[in-house]
Amino acid sequence: MIQTNLTTILQTIHASAVKAGRNPSSIQLVAVSKRVPVESIQLAVESGQLCFGENYFQEASEKIPQVSGDLSWHFIGHLQSNKVKEVVTLFDIIETVDRIKIARLIDSHAQSQRKNIQILLQVNVGGEQQTSGVSPEQTEALIREINKETQLQVIGLMTLPPYFSDPEKSRPFFKKLRLLATELAKKQLFADNKNVVLSMGMSGDYPIAIEEGATLVRVGTALFGERIY
Ligand SMILES: *Cc1c(COP(=O)(O)O)cnc(C)c1O
């Protein structure tokens, strides 16, 4: 099942890229494994998937050490100050940085652990009250502060639009994130301004996110099935 789903998702990524005139190899799948048991994650690894995303530190700290393979783990959940040290230990990329205080903490733990952590800034494109993320207007100031005060590599931007049953409704949010990234890249604010990472799109809307420039798509349900809570 997981292998079949993975094949379908990779084919869809490929087709969406071609449709948008993009190179399919510029898009990476982050398999979102929150609430997914270790056995299922291991099956995905055996099918060739090497990049995973987790939201909850506690859950991830139990599962990550049990999964074997040369894997890359992305933290995609809300970051709390008192969990940063462990998040730095367990993860390779942190996608949800949205304030300077957290960036400073990540930096100091990364330095004391001698770990090279890459980060993305989570942008609240829609300005919803309940969603984390820096506002589009504040993003430039935040990235400048991080570049000035830390050694962290800001490799790109991430967004999580509000949920719509019609995936077309996500398109303006994806587009806005891409335009913002383009503007910041012109100002040379990212670690690699020719290859800015755009993390956007989930099970319901990743083909549209790819049409709008996503380089990372975060897909859970379409790969592992409905999560059990
Ligand atoms: C859960 C989650 C996903 C994956 O959502 P699906 O709809 O299951 O694909 C992606 N990104 C974030 C930030 C999530 O929390």
Secondary structure class of 54 (helix, strand, coil): strand
Tell me, what's the pLDDT at 64?
Answer: 97
Among 52, 55, 218, 226, say which to mutate for ligand 1: greatest number of ligand atoms within 8 Å of CB: 218
Is the Cβ atom of 223 under 6 angstroms away from ligand 1? Answer: no
Tell me, what's the pLDDT at 223?
Answer: 98
What phi-psi label fits residue 132: left (phi over 0), alpha (psi between -120 and 50 degrees) or beta? beta
Determine the Cα–Cα distance for residues 214 and 95; give it in Å rounded to an integer. 14
Q: How far is the CA of 154 from the centre of ligand 1 (A)?
A: 22
For residue 8 the two structure tokens come to 């379908």
Beta strand 72-75 pairing with 216-219:
unpaired
Q: What is the distance of C-alpha 154 from the center of its chain?
A: 13
Is the Cβ atom of 6 under 6 angstroms away from ligand 1? Answer: no
Tell me, what's the pLDDT at 228?
Answer: 78
Is the Cβ atom of 161 under 6 angstroms away from ligand 1? Answer: no
Ranges of residues in the chain with a pLDDT under 50 are none
Q: Is the pTM of this model over 0.85?
A: yes
Beta strand 93-97 pairing with 118-122:
parallel
Tell me, what's the pLDDT at 129?
Answer: 82
Q: Which atom of ligand 1 is nearest to the CA of 160?
A: 13
